[in-house]
Amino acid sequence: MPVNFHQQGINSTLLRGEKRKVSSWINQVIASEKKKEGNISVIFTGKHDLLKMNNSFLSHNFHTDIITFNYNQETLISGDLFIGIEQVAENAIEFKTTTKLELLRVIVHGIFHLIGYNDSTDKEKAEMRKREDKALVLYHSLD
């Protein structure tokens, strides 16, 4: 099932021409975890809209780069990934990477949350980073 991409209140050219590749990549990441891809939407939004969502749904009053809503049914992975493009760009500068690479990392981070991985502890964060790195290698091998 292809991933759906949307823009909410912004106009981003990130991933233009690569959405099919990103969708295939997400499907492969999910399949590697012995799960099936269901309905997944990636919604690019603005920093302030994501802050409002973070406050409303999670009672967090700080900026974030992604909020994930999980609609899984058993092994069928479904959900919405709301991604703050401005925050992703700021993170890319901070982490000395490209905005595109940071966006791909954030997308797969959200996918791993849908699959069931957390990043609350230092150990979980390290494991999540390893999974993200491995998934990014896979993405670049698809060229």
Q: What is the pTM of this model?
A: 0.94
Query: In 3D, which of 70, 72, 106, 71 has the Cα closest to residue 87?
Result: 106
Mean pLDDT of 103-117: 97
- What phi and psi values does residue 121 have, to the nearest 5 degrees? -105, 165
- Domains for the chain: give ranges and CATH numbers: 4-141 (3.40.390.30)
Residues 6+ apart with CB under 8 A from 61: 51, 54, 55
Mean pLDDT of 97-126: 97
Q: Note the pLDDT tens digit of each residue in 56-108.
A: 888 788 888 999 999 999 999 999 999 999 999 999 999 999 999 999 999 99
Average pLDDT score, the chain? 93
